[in-house]
Chain A
Amino acid sequence: MSTQNAQSEGDFWNLRLYVAGQTPKSQAAFSNLKKLCDEHLKGKCHIEVIDLIKNPRLAAGDQILAIPTLVRKLPEPIRRIIGDLSNTEKVLVGLDILPHQMENI
Chain B
Amino acid sequence: MQHTTIKSTEELPKAPTGIRGLDEITFGGLPKGRSTLIAGGAGSGKTLMSMEFLVRGAIEFGESGVFMAFEETSDELAKNVASLGFEIEELIKEKKLIIDFVRVERSEIEETGEYDLEGLFIRIGYAIDSIGAKRVVLDTIESLFAGLKNQAILRAELRRLFRWLKDKGVTAIITAERGSNELTRYGLEEYVSDCVILLDNRVTGQISTRRLRIVKYRGSRHGTNEYPFLIDEHGISIMPITSLALDYKVSNERISSGIPRLDMMLGGKGFYRGSSILVTGSAGTGKSTIAAHFADATCRRGERVLYFAFEESPDQIVRNMSSVGLNLQQWLDKGRLKIHSARASLYGLETHLVTMQRQIDDFKPNAVIVDPISNLINVGESSDVRSMLTRLIDYLKSKQITAVFTNLTHERLEATETEVSSVMDTWLLVRDIEIAGERNRGIYVLKSRGMPHSNQIREFLLTNKGVDIIDVYAGPSGVLTGSARAAQEEKEQAEKTLRREEIERFSRDLDRRRKIMEAQVAAITAEYEAKAEEIKQLILQSKERESILSQNRARMSKARGSQEKTIKG
Binding site for B on A (CB under 8 A): 18, 20, 25, 28-29, 52-53, 56-57, 59-60, 63-69, 78-87, 90-91, 93-94
Contacts and interface: CB of A to CB of B under 8 A. Distances in A.
- 5 tightest CB-CB pairs across the interface, nearest first? A94-B110, A83-B113, A56-B126, A84-B113, A86-B113
Contacts of A52: 118-119, 122
Nearest to A85: B112
Interface of B: 100, 102-104, 108-120, 122-123, 125-126, 144, 147-148
B142 to A, nearest CB: 14
A65 B110 contact: no
Q: Which of A29, A57, A66 has the largest count of B CB atoms less than 10 A from its CB?
A: A66
5 contacts: A56-B122, A69-B119, A80-B110, A85-B113, A86-B112
A49 B148 CA distance: 23
A52 B100 CA distance: 16
Contact of B123 (A64, A78, A84, A93): A64
Contacts of B118: 20, 52, 66-67
Contacts of B112: 81-87, 90-91, 94
A99 to B, nearest CB: 11
Nearest to A94: B110
Nearest to A91: B112
A18 B117 CA distance: 12
Nearest to A32: B113
A67 B116 CA distance: 5
Nearest to B126: A56
Contacts of A86: 112-114
A83 B111 contact: yes
A83 B126 contact: no
B109 A80 contact: yes
A93 B111 CA distance: 11
A25 B119 contact: no
A53 B109 CA distance: 22
B122 A20 contact: yes
A96 to B, nearest CB: 10
Nearest to B98: A60
Contacts of A56: 122-123, 125-126
Contacts of B115: 25, 66-69, 82-84
B114 A57 contact: no
A58 to B, nearest CB: 9
Contacts of A93: 110
Given A52-B122, A66-B115, A84-B113, 18 more contacts: A59-B122, A59-B126, A60-B126, A65-B104, A65-B120, A65-B144, A67-B122, A68-B115, A80-B108, A81-B109, A82-B111, A82-B115, A84-B114, A87-B112, A90-B110, A90-B111, A90-B112, A94-B112
A84 B117 CA distance: 13
A60 B123 contact: yes
A53 B116 CA distance: 14
Given A25-B116, A67-B116, A82 B109 contact: yes
A80 B148 CA distance: 12
Contacts of A78: 108
A11 B265 CA distance: 98
Contacts of A59: 119, 122-123, 126
Contacts of A80: 108-110
Nearest to A87: B112
Nearest to B130: A57
B107 to A, nearest CB: 10
A54 to B, nearest CB: 10
A69 B110 CA distance: 10
Contacts of A20: 118-119, 122
Given A66-B119, A67-B118, A87 B113 contact: yes
A55 B119 CA distance: 11
B122 A83 contact: no
A67 B102 CA distance: 15
A66 B111 CA distance: 10
Contact of A18 (B109, B119, B147): B119
A60 B127 CA distance: 10
A79 B108 contact: yes
